[in-house]
Structures are given as structure tokens and as C-alpha cells.
Structure 1
Amino acid sequence: MIPLQVPPDLFGPVVREALNILIGSWREGFVQVSGFVGATILLFSLVQYRFDGKLTELLQEHERAQPLVGGLLGLTPGCGGAIIAMPLYIRGTVSFGTVVAALGATAGDSAFIILALAPEAAIYAYGLAFIASVLFGYAIDLWGLGVGRVDRAVERVSRPVTDGGFATTSVADGGPSVPEYERPDHDHGDGGRLPGYLPDSALLERISHGIHVLWWVVLAGALVAGTMYLAKGAVEPAWAVGFSYDGLFTIAGLLGTTLSFYLYFVGRHYIGEGDTGRLRDTFASLYKTFQHAAMETAMVTVWVIAGYLLYEYGMAIFAFDIQSLASSAGVMTPIFGALLGLIPGCAAHIVFAQLYAIEEAVPFSALAANAVSQDGDALFPLMAIDLKAAIIATIYTTVPAVLIGVGLHYFWPYAQYGFGVVG
């Protein structure tokens, strides 16, 4: 992260470092992550709008295909495909094995870096992630694989944050209970009930619609800047304002994140789609389709920035050196790659992908293990709605990741050399 040059005479070194991390994360999160996430969610939403909910019905009718479809959703670069699968589980449309398959197959936004800089490694790593995740998803649905025990263990330390728990005693046996606001008898307006900190205002409703339209313009700019960022080898741009790549990256990043926070905390309560993280069967209009995609992406952006800040401040406070740990000798390297996947979001994994593709500091076995284990931003909607299911899911994506990483380390010669896959 290239720091913003905060004038040294304004603050002390600690405050300057904290501000650099905050503003840098505010800029990078939207361009590096949200631009791609928003485009993918919009694509799936448009498909949903075009087919008027028939795809969801088809998936629900063909239960045996669900983990395979979950894996295919996760296989799409970025996190948008896997994000689509989370609300399907929350509403009881797909199985828990499907969730694990989607989360395990997703390579998050770090996939764009590997695809751009090491495409052959991407084919191997994400192919392995897809196969392992789908097989593991089917195994969970068929045999449980101890999910019930993990379910009970998590129950002792964590409670679902909104819906009061699952309908059954084990995640493997069923899905979550139906939240109150998804019941047919629950009455709420288009934007949901206004929270106490917001007034009933027609002016704010009009402003929110305008900000929603502006948000899409900024997202288009972020998508262009993000693509250029990858084309330039994921080199951090300088801080600039103007008609240049650096200027576009800076303006789109700062403005996009700011607008996303407004939409999530204010705008969605006035213009609709207040129940973010909930899949719609269909949409009343094309505008509503765009609106839904914007609100979903805004929610992901809020979580992404929180993840970026947690990661960056953790690095600064504890001097945690990923490169040193990832370069550890022996089998601990792929195990570390798998355990890193327990961190939600994409920030740590983007750094890890850069260590492989740019710094050549980690072996392919670690990259593949991380590709299976990381859940990307798709875990955030599940965390926001049912924390217990999110914890169990991320534990169960780590298991095949360790097996794949250790297996590659011992049995595939490429894993011994780290960069043999990409020549």
C-alpha cells in the first residue's frame, strides 16, 4: 500500500500511520474488490431478471446438482458468484454442502491477479479447488462428515445474529430457520422500517436515488481502474487527482467507498432492498435489478473495508510478516496457506497472490491450499445473517485445503519448486 503523504507537522507518526492505513484502505477496497464484485452480482441479477426466477426454481427442484452448481458459482473469478449462493442457503433453497462447495471453489478477487500474471498456475490451482470443493460438498450432504459435532461446538461459543438458529440440530440435516422478516405475514415497506437515526424524509429519498445512479457511474470507473491495475502487474498507483490511471484509481476508490457506506447505512432504507443478503426470485423492473445489485455490493464493500482495516492495523501493530511465514521450510508452508483462508475477505489473499505471482515467495502447494480455503467476500453476507453457519462453513473449507496443500507438497514435483507451474 503506497501511503498518502499526510503533512508531518499536522499529526504525530502514530496518527499519520493510522490515517494512511484508513485512507489507503478506503481507496483500494472499492477498486480492487467492489468493482469486480458489483459487475458479477449485476450479471447474475440480470440473468435472474431475464428468466423471472426460473433458475432458482430449477435449482431447488434438482437437489443432486446443487453442490456442482455451487462450485460453478464459486469458480467465477471474484466473489460475485459465491455471494449469490449464500442467500439461497439462508432461505432454504440449497443445502449446506452447496455453501461449502461455493466457498471452497471461489478464489476471491486474488483470482484476477493470478489469472493476469500466472494463468497456467490459475488453471491448476482453481481446477483443484473446484474438484475438491464439489466432492467435499457432496460428502457433507450425503454423510455429514461430523458437521453436527462442529455445529454443537460452535453453538457453545456463538449464536446466530439474527434468525435464532437452525430449524434442526445439525447443519448437515437441514437449513436455517426462516427469519421473521421473510415470513409472509411480516409487513414492511419498500425500504424497510426506518432505523431510529433516520428521519422520514422525501428529500433524502430523492437524494438516495440520485446517489444510487452516481454509484453505478463510479463503479464503472472502478472496474476500468481495477482492470488497468491488473494489466500493469498489480503495481500500486500513486496518489493523484486528474484524468489519468492514478487519478481514476484514487477518485473512483475514495468516492465509491464513501457512496457505498451511504447506500448501506442510509440509502437502502429509503429506496428499497433494505434486506441485503436476501435473494429475490425476480425483480419488478430493470431499475430494481440494478438497485438490488448496488445494495448487495455496498454491503460487501462495508465488510471489505472492515476486513482491510483489521488486516492492515493488525500488520502494523503486531508486525505480522506474511512473506516470512509463507517462506517457512517444509510442509508448514501449504498449511499456512490453508489457515490463512480462515481470514474472511480478500485483503490478505490479494497479498498472498502477489507473493506468489510477483515476489515468487511461496510455492504452488501453498497457493492451491489458499485457493481452496479462502472464502473471499462471499462469507460476509452469511456472517451478517447467520454467524454460526459462516463459522462452520469456513472450518469445512479449510479441511480439503490442508489435504490438497499437503498432498501437493509430498506427491506433485511442481510443489517442491514453487514456480514450476508458471515456467
Structure 2
Amino acid sequence: MLLFKGDNFMSITQLKSGSFRAEVYCPKEFRKEFGLTGERFRGTRITEKEAKDLEELFNSYIKFAKSGHIIPIEKKNKQESQSNDFLFKDFYKHYWLSEYKNGRTAKCSNRVPTRATVLQTENIFKCQILPIFGDYTISYLNENKQLVVRKLNEIAEEYANIKTVKSYFNQIFDLAEFEEVIEVNKIEKALRRVTDVKKQKIKAQKNFKEEALSVDELNEWIQAFESELINGSLIFMDYLLFHLTLKTGIRKSEAYAFQWKHVDFKNNFLYLVQSLDKEGNIKNTKGNKKSKIPLPSELSDLLLKWKNSQLIELKNMGITFNDEQFIFTYTNDDGKVNSKVHIDYLNYRLNTMKRKYPNLAKLNPHKLRHTFATLACEGGANIDTIQKALTHSDTATTSVYINTNMYKVDPTAYESFEKRMKETE
């Protein structure tokens, strides 16, 4: 919308973000007194009504100036002039968040985030960013880099994922620059002075050996699962889940996503093509790899036994069994049967076992992956082979693909793991 009122050029423009920008032409003779660097007053507001109010304010400046009264910008906190001085929390809520949800904030990717990722991001702002920066204005923070760096370094002392906080923070100011809330993002270079203190401390405290069970510690866990299965305190599906994640080195989210169509009993292969997110939705595997994993005979026997048992259980509940059936299911908190297992299902089972057998070494699903890798290495597998088995992305140059783009994993890693385990028998 373009208007001419007297000698003044005015406009209110709706931006792509949905907000409204007000512009009013300022006569050349008054610009210096107002501290304008351009020929117009500019300001952005969330609603059209607010933009019209701002436009009227700009016009009042010019009216006073023509009558011989200049209102210096500095004396009225820049009087809503070319600065758009939003509170950080308001700019996040009304501008950045919607852009982020549509994949338009990252510099190197326009991928739309999943709902689970959005919830995680909102939680980072709620817990880490907004309590500290929410009540500052965008322009104030942009002009006070030392304050921003000091506050972020304080967060980094307690929060390991400061890299993500820095990224989101910079995206806020990139968007503020685009929306002309600030002239230029002065925060970006300053963020280099924020270091990942907490993460480095955690890394320094960790020892790779401590991230994996020894053979003796692992055998104690295996024996505990055997005992619980025999005495009827452990269901067979949980027994299978433990052995499957241990002896293939896969992530728990990948194990949860297996359907019977992914098991090739005839040729003894597992097809790893998907995983589950935190809300139980199917997504691609990490790195978007599709892997063809050799299936040890012991695991094949366990899977076949569970398939037959699950078929009977579902039939008794009136549920049709087919190859689309997920291998690992449970009755959720809402009473829904045959639901995909919760993201922390395996964690809960391991914690329950640890409480019952307090002398067991500490264990979590990720530590199972480390254990698989360590014992496979001790059994003779080389690093490249193990990295392929774990589907790590930093071995792309050594990847071996077949004509279906299926990432074929060398069976040596699994054989080496079994070899190392048998050395203690």
C-alpha cells in the first residue's frame, strides 16, 4: 500500500513473514537532526494496526520538524524510528519460530524440521535462551556483543549442547537483519568467542574403555537376562531386543523400527532402512543409509521363535499378522495394544535389570554399541570394518554399494565379536 500525504511519501508493506513495515519519507533538511542514515523512517510491526500507528508517529516527527521543533531520536529512546526494537522473546515467538518451522532459517539447509525436532528446539529456547535473553531488545543485544558472549559462556559452563544454542542465536539475528530490525548482524563473529566448555569437560572425563563393557561384565549381563527369562520374570521379546542390539551394534531407534519384512530368514540378512523418532514416527536412519546386515544364526533362531509367538499372541487379540507388523511392540500408557515401543523402552528394561542385580556394570543402549565395537576390535576386526557395521558417516569413501543402493556390511565385524565372546567360554 503506497500513499502520498502532503509532501510525504508513506507506505505500509506486508512482508513475507506476515509482519508489516511502515515507511515515511523524511525531507532531506531534517535527516541529520533525526539521525537518519537513509531518506526514510522505517519500522516493522507484527500487525497492520501497529504499523499504521508507527506511521502516524513518524508523520508527527516531520510535522513538529516543519514547525521548528526537532525531537532528537536519542532523547526518546529512538522514538520508534528506524529501529524496530523488539524484545528478543517477541521476535522469537512472532517471527523466527514460524520461519524455523518452515525450514527457512538455516544457512546451509532448507530442510523442514520434524515435529519432534521442533519440540526439542522450543525446549532449548524455553530452558536455556529465553530466561536469559528474552527481556532484552534485539537492537540492544546486537550493540552489546560482550554481554551476549558473557551470558552464552555462562550457559556453556552448564549446558553441553552450546553449539546448537549459538546456531539458533545467530539465526535470530540473521532474520532480524533481513527484516530490517537491525542494519547488520553484529553477533555472528562474536559467537566465535563462545566455547563448548561443558562438552569439553565431559569429553575429557570420558575414557573409551569406560564406554564399553569388558567381556566379563557383558557375560554377567547376559547371564542375568538368561536367569530372568528362565524364571519367567522377563518376556521373550525383551530378551530378543537386548541380544539384537548387542550383537548387531545398531541404535535402539533402529531396532525399534524393524518390521518382519526387513528380516530375510532364507539368506540370513537384516535390512536396516528406517528408525523411529522420539514420538514413534518412522524416519530415515542416521546418515540416510540403507544397510544389509548379516544375521548370525543365533539371532535368526531367536527372531524366528519370537515371530511364531507374536503371531499367536496377536491372533488371540484379533489382530491380523503380516510382514508389516513391527517386531517390537507393547501396550502403551493409553491401553493401546500392539503399539510401537517407547523411545526409552530398552533403557527402562536395562535399568530394571540393574536395580534387580546391583552388582552389574552400568549399561545403557549406546554403551551396547561401544561394547560391540570394542569386542569386535579385540576379536580382530579392523576399524574400517567396524565403522561400516555401525553405519558411521565418516567412512563414505570406503563404502561398498550394490545396485540397490543398499549399504552392504562386511560380516567380519560380527564374526569378530562372536569370536571374542567365545574366547572366554
- Decide: shared fold, TM above 0.5: no
TM-score normalised by the shorter chain: which range applies?
under 0.3
- Say which one has the larger Rg: 2
Decide which structure has greater strand share: 2
TM-score (norm 2): 0.21
TM-score (norm 1): 0.21
